[in-house]
């Protein structure tokens, strides 16, 4: 069934209107499609219309023109219950519910399937447990949501969306509030869910580095509301990705796949070292303090890394003699002392 | 009690296990409420009343015309206040919400004030000061009319408004307006009417007659049934209205049902017992802490039972057994109830966690 279009829209305009008058058109002419089992990251600067697009695609807000089709049916034609069985959401706002266990929360995902009193049947229970297991939160089942960390809570909310057994899950900034390892963990869980359960996932995020590495497809909205979609690697290679986000002084490094922090250039260096982790991090350190690799010409400073037995030594070549450093910290101090021509004294 | 979540989400099972004890407590306090008062009727006398035996004429009168209606009223009013408090706390996701937050009791108070004052001005104040049927009925009708006027206003406004926080603020504004109008009315009345009115604001489970009792019980039971029907959407609303809607709940319709159910119960209780405070805000918190869950499948029946029990206890205390003293019910509910609730909420839990909704 892979390759089936779950969500499509053609010539869609999004924005706000009051009565009949269009107040603000955020973006127009959107042609998008989302396939089964695909993970799509929606990225764009603040105020570019990510939320508006998500609200329009999930049918919360009407489109200005064009239409959104879910499983090849207009989204407006779905009854609330049918829509709940096809599309589930994870919102940015944190859930403030006391005295509810993770199990209770995930069980609420069965809402469209249970009877008037919300009674869980045996199969419902199994679905709840397997949803918790898919996000690696099985041991959280009996814990209260208000006692969980942000990362754990996010897992539970994703499990709840899963328990709703939708075709498409839409997550609004699921990695906000999380620290880096938990951001990565959340993305890994979503990747796994998309691959294993063949559910489609659309998420908005500000974590561009993660988006490039995780998404099957990127939807980029730039400041002018122009939408570009494509495979992340293609968008990086064509330079579209960089130009959509670069601002004064901040540039995208297509080789490393991240935004570089600009520093004032203080000189050039020549580094002789074996290809090792130490080499990479020494390069980062030199770059951070303002030294760039010399391109052919005589370098201002010369550094060599030598691996002896278990220890690593940095050798800083200095007119007065070679200095051996035991750590990058020492190396940086040496360069500061000697290179600036005595400024550091 | 150690605070722990239920692994399977079945706080329901625990509740069912505890049910016989809670129901037993309700029966026990019901009987105690029948026995205790200014005249204490011993248990064997109660038994002989029920089995048709011979007892003193005055006891017979006190028992049937006074104690039984009072105890039944206490059970139903306590349960209704607890339930409507629960509905409002979940609906507004605010631990400080109570049955009167929509301005329902203020509307009722205004209705009552208008009737009492106008009667006072016409020189018929004595009718209301007595406990005659006419007086009581007109007070109840005035209160119900006032409560439903506010309900209609809130529903009308809420059909045009998305945010339920706005409704909350509107309810509070309506309360202030009605309160202000009552104060203005009080300026133009005689002492008797003013005294009658202030007695009414103290709240009381007494004075509901046998002819009024079926009406009250029927209307409140209707509120209980509606609350049971709301269990599932109330649970969904714990995650907030956006999540609830994304799960297929019709928010606008449910909102009308919740507001109407609350107004029905709070309005009827206010009409027959006066504006009884505290129970409505405290019992839902008590139940959440006691049953350690926010699941409405437990909380709805739990609030009915706990509301009934606590209302009976406060009623027993307010009629200081063995004396002729009758303390204002509203003073008793807060004075004796608040420390108990504070103890339950704080005990064994991290401070403050108990009031999360």
Q: Which of B162, B225, B247, B351 to mutate to test the interface with A (most CBs of A within 10 A)?
A: B247
Burial of B268 (C-beta count, 10 Å sphere; 0-12/13-18/19+): buried
A150: tokens are 């942000």
Residue A245: closest CA among A264, A263, A260:
A260
CB of A98 less than 8 A from some CB of B? yes
Write the pLDDT tens digit of every residue in B307-324.
999 999 999 999 988 888
Establish if B3 belongs to a structural domain: no
Query: First vs last Cα of chain B: how many Å apart?
Result: 20
Establish if B27 belongs to a structural domain: yes
**Helices then strands, each counted (H, E), chain B:** 16, 0
Residue B62, C-beta contacts closer than 8 angstroms, at least 6 positions apart: B37, B39, B41
Task: Give the DSSP H or E segment for A35.
Answer: strand A21-35
Domains: count for chain B: 1
Establish if B1 belongs to a structural domain: no
Establish if B128 belongs to a structural domain: yes
Whether ipTM > 0.95 holds is: no
Please count the other Cβ atoms lying within 10 Å of the Cβ belonging to residue B40.
10
Burial of A297 (C-beta count, 10 Å sphere; 0-12/13-18/19+): exposed
CB of A168 less than 8 A from some CB of B? no
User: Which pLDDT tens digits describe chain A residue by residue (345 residues)?
Assistant: 457 899 999 889 888 887 777 778 888 888 999 999 999 999 988 778 888 899 899 888 888 888 899 998 998 899 999 999 999 999 988 887 778 899 999 999 999 999 888 888 899 999 999 999 999 999 999 888 888 888 899 999 999 999 999 999 999 999 988 999 999 999 999 999 999 989 999 999 999 889 998 999 999 988 777 888 999 999 999 888 888 887 777 888 888 888 877 788 888 888 888 888 888 899 889 988 888 888 777 888 889 998 887 888 898 887 778 888 899 999 998 888 887 654 433
Establish if B49 belongs to a structural domain: yes
Chain B contacts of A95, Cβ < 8 Å? Answer: 239-240, 243
Write the pLDDT tens digit of every residue in B216-245.
999 999 999 999 999 999 999 999 888 999
- How far CA A93 is from CA of A23, A173, A185, B243, in Å, comes to 26, 10, 20, 10
A80–B240 CB contact, under 8 Å:
no
Establish if B4 belongs to a structural domain: no
DSSP 8-state assignment for residue B39: S
Residue B95: closest CA among B330, B345, B332, B334:
B345
Write the pLDDT tens digit of every residue in A277-304.
888 899 889 988 888 888 777 888 889 9
Structural domain containing residue B302: 11-355
d(CA B303, CA B310): 10
A104–B288 CB contact, under 8 Å:
no
Domain ranges of chain A: 267-339
Establish if B351 belongs to a structural domain: yes
Chain B contacts in chain A segment 250-269 (CB below 8 A): none
């Amino acid at each position: 069934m892979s390759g089936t279009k779950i969500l499509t829209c053609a010539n869609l305009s999004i924005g706000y209107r009051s009565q009949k008058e269009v107040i603000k058109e955020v973006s127009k002419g959107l042609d998008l499609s989302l396939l089964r089992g695909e993970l799509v990251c929606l990225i764009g600067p603040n105020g570019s219309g990510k939320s508006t697009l998500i609200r329009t695609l999930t049918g919360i807000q009407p489109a200005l023109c064009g239409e959104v089709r879910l499983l090849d049916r207009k989204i407006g034609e779905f009854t609330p219950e049918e829509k709940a069985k096809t599309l589930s959401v994870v919102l940015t706002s944190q859930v403030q519910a006391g005295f509810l266990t993770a199990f209770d929360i995930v069980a609420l995902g069965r809402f469209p399937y249970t009877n008037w009193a919300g009674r869980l049947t045996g199969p419902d229970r199994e679905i709840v447990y397997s949803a918790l297991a898919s996000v690696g939160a099985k041991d959280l089942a009996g814990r209260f949501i208000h006692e969980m960390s942000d990362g754990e809570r996010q897992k539970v909310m994703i499990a709840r969306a899963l328990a709703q057994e939708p075709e498409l899950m839409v997550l609004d900034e699921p990695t906000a509030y999380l620290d880096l390892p938990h951001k990565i963990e959340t993305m890994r869980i979503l990747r796994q869910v998309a691959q294993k359960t063949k559910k489609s996932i659309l998420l908005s995020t500000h974590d561009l580095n993660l988006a490039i590495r995780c998404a099957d497809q990127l939807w980029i909205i730039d400041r002018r509301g122009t939408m570009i979609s494509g495979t992340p690697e293609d968008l990086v290679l064509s330079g579209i990705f960089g130009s959509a986000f670069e601002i004064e002084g901040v540039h995208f490094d297509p080789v490393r796949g991240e935004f570089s922090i600009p520093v004032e250039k203080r000189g050039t260096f020549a580094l002789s070292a074996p290809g090792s982790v130490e080499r990479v991090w020494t390069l980062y350190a030199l770059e951070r303090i303002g030294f760039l690799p010399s391109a052919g010409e005589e370098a201002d400073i010369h550094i060599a890394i030598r691996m002896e037995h278990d220890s690593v030594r940095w050798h800083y070549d200095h007119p007065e003699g070679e200095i051996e450093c035991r750590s990058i910290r020492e190396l940086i101090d040496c360069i500061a002392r000697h290179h600036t021509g005595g400024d550091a004294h | 009690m150690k605070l722990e979540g239920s692994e399977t989400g079945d706080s329901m099972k625990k509740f069912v296990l505890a049910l016989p004890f809670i129901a037993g407590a309700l029966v026990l306090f019901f009987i105690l409420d029948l026995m205790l008062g200014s005249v204490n009727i011993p248990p064997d006398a109660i038994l002989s009343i029920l089995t048709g035996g011979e007892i003193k004429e005055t006891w017979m009168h006190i028992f049937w015309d006074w104690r039984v209606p009072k105890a039944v009223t206490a059970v139903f009013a306590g349960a209704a206040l607890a339930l409507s408090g629960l509905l409002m706390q979940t609906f507004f996701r605010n631990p400080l919400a109570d049955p009167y937050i929509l301005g329902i009791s203020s509307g009722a108070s205004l209705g009552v004030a208008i009737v009492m004052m106008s009667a006072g001005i016409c020189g018929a104040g004595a009718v209301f000061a007595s406990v005659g049927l006419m007086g009581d009925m007109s007070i109840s009708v005035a209160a119900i009319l006032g409560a439903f006027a506010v309900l209609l206003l809130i529903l009308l406004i809420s059909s045009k408004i998305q945010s339920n926080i706005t409704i909350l603020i509107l309810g509070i504004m309506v309360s202030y307006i009605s309160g202000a109008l009552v104060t203005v009315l009080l300026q133009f009345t005689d002492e008797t009417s003013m005294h009658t009115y202030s007695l009414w604001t103290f709240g009381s489970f007494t004075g509901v007659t046998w002819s009024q009792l079926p009406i009250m019980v029927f209307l409140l039971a209707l509120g209980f049934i509606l609350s049971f029907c709301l269990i599932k959407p109330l649970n969904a609303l714990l995650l907030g209205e956006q999540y609830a809607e994304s799960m297929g709940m019709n928010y606008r319709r449910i909102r009308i049902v919740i507001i109407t159910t609350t107004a029905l119960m709070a309005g009827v209780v206010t009409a027959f017992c006066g504006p009884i405070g505290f129970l409505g805000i405290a019992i839902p918190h008590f139940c959440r802490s006691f049953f350690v869950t926010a699941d409405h499948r437990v909380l709805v029946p739990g609030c009915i039972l706990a509301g009934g029990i606590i209302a009976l206890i406060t009623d027993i205390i307010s009629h200081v057994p063995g004396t002729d003293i009758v303390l204002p019910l509203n003073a008793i509910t807060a004075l004796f109830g608040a420390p108990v609730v504070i103890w339950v909420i704080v005990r064994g839990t991290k401070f403050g966690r108990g009031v999360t909704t």
